[in-house]
Amino acid sequence: MPFRIATFLTASFLGGAVVAVVAGLHYLWLGAWLGAWLWFGLDAWRAQRLLHVLRNDANGLPSRGAGVWGEMAERIRKLLRTREQQARQAEDRLQEFLAAIQASPNGVVLLDEQGRIEWCNQTAAGQFGIDAERDLLQHLSNLVRDPAFVAYLASWNYSRDVVIDAPSQIQAHRGHPVRLSVQVHPYAGNRRMLLTRDITSLEQAEAMRRDFVANVSHEIRTPLTVLAGFVETLQTLPLDAEERSRYLQLMGQQSHRMETLVNDLLTLSRLEGSAAPPVNRWTRVRALMAQCEDEGRGLSSRLAAQGHKLSFALEADSEIAGAATELQSAMSNLLSNAIRYTPGGSEVAVSWRLLPDGRGEYAVRDSGPGIAAEHIPRLTERFYRIDRSRSRETGGTGLGLAIVKHVAQRHGAELRIESTVGKGSRFALVFPVTRLRQAAVPAPSLEKA
């Protein structure tokens, strides 16, 4: 009996243990499944949160958290930060590049495949008369209607440039004809880049060069032809002493004319190619005026039997900083021009004075025929003459006022021309205060007639 009871109790205990073990395993699997689902849900929530942020606002990435998604968010954040920095640097470089193109003296226009404006700098906008913002994505050929330009743009043959006239509104704004050189360069498939350059000054310089060569050739050919004729006459005809002397005198005049022309050309060349005049080398105005007087009286006596009524007034004895030879050349040219174009017996007055603002004025006033207003702007052009026959008769080369203009520019002076037809002219050189000072030893006023 005790043994059966013990056996029963033992079996009951083992049975209970087995039941407990079976029940514990069941709950353990249930907990594992619940934990797995909870972990899967949390992981899915983190993934969805990261995906939502990436879709909407990458800047709102959560701070680094636990697990693979936190690591991934951190790495994405670093990657985005690096990309943003690279994008900012690229944008800065692009802006610097565009600013450099904006500062270029040449125009730049970028066209897409259809020939529409993608971008242009202000230089090109000003040359073509377009608006850099308003006309974006407009066809350039619709805005610039020059036939040569439209044909060139449509030809796709860009081995050379094309020269066109700027739009009429640009020429009207500047007040003179404007010429543009346009070169197209294809890039990135069918896109095109236009480079434009204002060649107005170049064409003007080329025209001036051609005119200069033609004028020099003409000016030298005339006395050479005369000299050749006189030489042939002396060689072939028997002349008496008086005729021979007259021919030799005429030959001397023509050779002197050529010598004067060559000297003036050399003077212009020296002025254009030499260094700026010194600012610490002073020349007394009284000395310059005295030399002008000697040259003027000698020229007057050769050109007119009765001479001219010359007067020289020095109101303030000053000194000018600069090249003495250039200053003398400019002053003498103004006086010689007045004497050449003023009839004998008429008055020519030369003066030096200080203006109220401290500047100095050298002026030559004549009582000649005067100059019409339409000629005044062109008087300083090389070989420009109002009356060519009169100039040649008096020995003028047509370069005097061009020399005066260059000397004035090199010394910071201003050339003023005033004239009335039938009443005479007044030419004046006005020197800046910075190139003037009072003479070391004051001299009395110079007044001769």
400-424: pLDDT as tens digits: 888 899 999 999 999 999 998 888 9
Question: 218 or 444: which carries more pLDDT confidence?
Answer: 218
Q: What local confidence, expressed as pLDDT, does residue 242 receive?
A: 86
SS3 per-residue string spanning the chain: CHHHHHHHHHHHHHHHHHHHHHHHHHHHHHHHHHHHHHHHHHHHHHHHHHHHHHHHCHHHCCCCCCHHHHHHHHHHHHHHHHHHHHHHHHHHHHHHHHHHHHCCCCEEEEECCCCEEEEECHHHHHHHCCCCCCCCCCEHHHHCCCHHHHHHHHHCCCCCCEEEECCHHHHHHHCCCCEEEEEEEEECCCEEEEEEEECHHHHHHHHHHHHHHHHHHHHHHHHHHHHHHHHHHHHHCCCCHHHHHHHHHHHHHHHHHHHHHHHHHHHHHHHHHCCCCCCCCEEEHHHHHHHHHHHHHHHHHHHCCCCCEEEEEECCCEEEECCHHHHHHHHHHHHHHHHHCCCCCCEEEEEEEECCCCCEEEEEEECCCCCCCCCHHHCCCCCCCCCHHHHHHCCCCCCHHHHHHHHHHHCCCEEEEEEECCCEEEEEEEECHHHEEECCCCCCCCEEC
* pTM, full prediction: 0.56
72-125: pLDDT as tens digits: 767 777 887 888 888 888 888 878 877 877 888 889 999 999 999 999 998 998
Which of 294-308, 345-359, 407-421 has the lowest average pLDDT? 294-308
Tell me the pLDDT of the chain averaged across its residues. Answer: 81
Q: According to the per-residue pLDDT averaged within each range, which of 27-41, 109-123, 375-389 is highest?
A: 109-123
